[in-house]
Amino acid sequence: MTARRFARKYLIGIIAILVSFVVFLLPFAFIVLQAAKDPREAGLMGFSFPTQWQFFQNLVDVLQTNDYQVVWAFINTVVITVFSVAIMVVLAAMVGYLLQRKKSRWNPVVNFFVLAALIVPPAVVPTIWVLQGVGLFKTIPGMVLIEATFGLAFAVLLFRAFVATIPRELDEAAIIDGAGSMRLFFQVILPLLRPVVVTVIVVQSVFVFNDFQGPLYFLPGSDTPTLQLGLYNFQSQSVSQFNLLFMYMLLITIPPLIMYIFFNRQIVAGMTSGAVKG
């Protein structure tokens, strides 16, 4: 019996680790190796070490391409991500809180729309028409509002599930102490929602940061690119510079990687509490 358990633990573990190397780590190793090669060698797409490491040179080159386009794209993407996620967190927390706390005739309506927003694919061209109508097409504020809107439903679900774990007695105590509804929410409830706020921030900012379809439709043209759009355009413009393409990929993988390293546990906890119970 012990021999069997030993075999299970170590043998299966070792096999799984080996498989994970091939399936999950080799593709990432490929990106890093390609990013360090010269253009000719990278073009061969072989899985080999570069004969001459020019990692730093490629990094400088990709940053300088098209008048520091990558840097601008990075700034745009960060601005869109930060603002849209901030809007999403505050508005979705308000909705989730109210849905959980107050039984009103609006609840079924709101629940229906949350579900609909999760399922229904956005109607893209009519959205462009609306954006043009309000003068926000091809602008960063327009993109911020769109990303915030598309992320609301999922954030509401996470918040609603979490508000249920905060005892109502806290609300009552705050009210007796004379807190108004604004103070109750922003100074008592919102700080208590912190774990799920972090989850929403991590999950949604990774999503907005990696979004390609949104900027493709709502930020066309090269004057306001985002990183994902920039990577896609880079690929079609410079066919012979695979080393720079992979360096670009490496660069845009780093922010989500950092997020993941810092918030690994948080992502797992939040995703499961929202996704399974909600």
Using CB under 8 A as the binding rule, the residues of this chain from 105 to 124 that contact other proteins are 106, 110, 113, 117-124
Should residue 184 be labelled a site residue for other proteins when binding is judged by CB under 8 A?
yes
How far apart are CB 215 and other proteins at their closest, in Å? Answer: 11
- Which one-letter DSSP state was computed for residue 45? T
Should residue 7 be labelled a site residue for other proteins when binding is judged by CB under 8 A?
no
**Site for other proteins (CB under 8 A): which residue of 9, 71, 240, 262?**
9
Q: Both tokens of residue 232?
A: 């896609």
Q: Both tokens of residue 84?
A: 């849209």
- The residue range among 57-65, 67-75, 191-199, 243-251 that interacts with other proteins, by the rule CB under 8 A, is 243-251
- The residue range among 54-62, 64-72, 192-200, 231-239 that interacts with other proteins, by the rule CB under 8 A, is 231-239
Q: State phi, psi for 246 to the nearest 5 degrees.
A: -70, -30
Helices (H) and strands (E) in the chain, counts: 15, 0
- The residue range among 54-62, 68-76, 174-182, 192-200 that interacts with other proteins, by the rule CB under 8 A, is 174-182
Give yes or no for a contact between 199 and 270, defined as CB atoms under 8 angstroms apart: yes
- The residue range among 55-63, 65-73, 191-199, 245-253 that interacts with other proteins, by the rule CB under 8 A, is 245-253
CA 71 from centroid of its chain's CA atoms: 19
Should residue 145 be labelled a site residue for other proteins when binding is judged by CB under 8 A?
yes
Give yes or no for a contact between 81 and 211, defined as CB atoms under 8 angstroms apart: no
Which residue type, as a one-letter code, is found at position 221?
Answer: G
How far apart are CB 160 and other proteins at their closest, in Å? Answer: 12
Should residue 186 be labelled a site residue for other proteins when binding is judged by CB under 8 A?
no
How far apart are CB 245 and other proteins at their closest, in Å? Answer: 7
Report the C-alpha gap between 142 and 5 in whole angstroms.
Answer: 58
Give yes or no for a contact between 70 and 233, defined as CB atoms under 8 angstroms apart: no
Which residue type, as a one-letter code, is found at position 226?
Answer: T
For residues 24-83, which are near other proteins according to CB under 8 A? 24-25, 27, 30-31, 34, 44-47
Which residue type, as a one-letter code, is found at position 240?
Answer: S
How far apart are CB 66 and other proteins at their closest, in Å? Answer: 18
